[in-house]
Amino acid sequence: MDDMNWNSLKIEVEEYLEADSALDGGLRQIVQLHLQVGTENPNERDAAHNALKALLKGRDGTPFRRGQKSSIPAAVRVATDRICGVVEEAITAYYNHDPIIGAISVKHAKSGGGQYDSAEEFAASWVKKTRNSLNSQYKAGTWDGSVDTLLSAETSEEL
């Protein structure tokens, strides 16, 4: 791995470490050690990259995602993923609360219309809407990407 790619990866991972306060201390140390190994020994960068990917893949806000790299900073991705997790849990519980919910919940016509096949499909549609909304708010500058400011804004509107 060349210097430019390594330095980009290192910046993304360090940004992620700063943003995710819930990451276990031991895991955080291991990630930092892999970054140090890759920085000090260019021949070990591919191995360090693979180890970092294995350790961080699938976590909230991780820099190791499918598709294009996000223009959204890691701190905002972590907050968005946490919010989407709450939405997914709540929407799944809502859908499963009573069979009538599934009977009255229908897909948008552009999505094929009709009823949802499962609570998971219903929740996935809401998670997608939520993620898109939060990313739009961040890009528009109406949200700073913090869960705390999002909650304080909602609280102040209620008062």
SS (H, E, C) 103-158: HHCECCHHHCCCECCCHHHHHHHHHHHHHHHHHHHHHHCCCCCCHHHHHHHHHHHH
Tell me the average pLDDT across 87-92: 96
- Give 158's pLDDT tier (boundaries 50, 70, 90): very low
- Give 95's pLDDT tier (boundaries 50, 70, 90): very high
Tell me the average pLDDT across 80-84: 90
pLDDT of 39-63, one tens digit each?
999 999 999 999 999 999 988 778 8
